[in-house]
Amino acid sequence: MVYIEKSAVKGSIFKYIENNQITYEIIEENVVEELNDLEDAIVIRKSSKEIHSCPSTKYYRCCNYQVLDIMEGCPYNCSYCILKTILNHKNIIVNDTVDTLREELIKLDKMSKQRIGSGELSDSLALDNIVGLTTIISPIVNSLKNSVFEYKTKSVNIDNLLKLNPKNIIVSWSVNPNLIIKREELLTPLIEERLNAAKICAEYGYRLAFHFDPLILCENFEKEYKVVVEKIVEKVDEKVVSYISIGILRFMPQLEDIIRNNYLESNILANEFVETIDGKLRYLKPVRYYMVNYLYNLIRKYWKNAFIYLCMEDVSIWENVLGYDPGNRQSFE
C-alpha cells in the first residue's frame, strides 16, 4: 500500500502515482513508526535529502561515487543486507526531493565530472513501476554536461527506462550465481532474468555496468562464478559495458545474529570471518585475494578492455591483482 504524507501531495511522485492510477492513502506527517507493522508499506514524504559521497574508510580504496538516497528500504530480502543494521524503520520511504534535486545536480555538474547513483539504501528499479523515480531523475540528468547517473538494481523492472532517453544513464546489475540468489537473495530475479533485462536495455541504447558485489564464497566457487561470467559474455557486448566492480562480502558484526536467527537456509556464516580495521567482518585476506584474483582473470579471459575495479578493498590486493594502487577517491575517479 502507498501512503503519501500531506506535504508530498502535488509533488512529482504524487503526480506519477495519480497518472498511473495507483491506489494510495494520504496520511499526516511523521507517522512512519505507526506503519511499521504493516507489510509492504511505501511512504512518500517531502524531503530535502542531499547527494553525498559514498560512505568509505581511509583504510580501503573507494571510488568518488556520489549517492542519492532518494529511497530507503527494499522489497527484496537479502540475508546479507546492511539495511537491517542501519535503518530504524521497516517501511520503504521514498523522499520526494525533486525541488532541490535539480539545483543540487546542476551545482555538482558545474564543479567537475560526476558519477552519481541510487541504490545504496534501496534497489533503484524494484519499485519504479509504482513510484516512477526514473521518469523524474533521467530528464534532469540528461540535461547535464558532465554527469552520468547509475541505477543499481537486481530487478527486471525496466519498462519506464524503455520510454526514456538513455543519454547520460548507466543501468547496472548486481550479479551472483543462482545458488546464492536462491539461498541469500530472496525474492530477487534469477541471473538469467537480470541479464535478459540488461540485454534489452543495451539494445535500447543504455550503457551497462555489472557488480559482483557481494562476491560470496560458496561451494564450487570457481564453477559457479564461471557460469555467471559466461552468461554475461553470452548476453552482452563488451562495448556497452562502462565498468565492472568486484566487492567481496563485508558486514557489521551485529548482522551475524540477524542472519543466524532469520535465514535458516543461508550458508554465509559457514565461512571464517575476521573483524577488519573498519569494524566490518571480512574473509581472511588470503581468501579475498584468491577470490578477486580468480574472478578478475576469468573476466579478462573473455573481455580484455572492460574497466574493472575493486570496491572497498585493501591496497595490497589492488596491487597484486590489478597491478596498481588507484590512490585516493578523487584520483581513482
pTM of the model: 0.92
Cα separation, 212 vs 230, whole angstroms: 14
Q: How far is CA 248 from the centre of its chain?
A: 14
Does position 328 have pLDDT exceeding 60, yes or no? no
d(CA 188, CA 177): 12
Reported as a single tens digit per residue, the pLDDT across 278-325 is: 889 999 999 999 999 999 999 999 999 999 999 888 888 989 999 987
pLDDT tens digits for range 158-187? 999 999 999 999 999 999 999 999 999 999
Distances (CA, A) of 218 to 125, 176, 197, 248, 310: 28, 11, 26, 12, 20
Q: With the CA atoms of 298, 302, 304 and 307 taken in that order, what torsion angle do they form, in degrees rounded to the nearest 10?
A: -70
Give 105's pLDDT tier (boundaries 50, 70, 90): confident
Q: What is the pLDDT of residue 329?
A: 43
Average pLDDT over residues 15-39: 80
Answer whether residue 94 shows pLDDT above 60.
yes
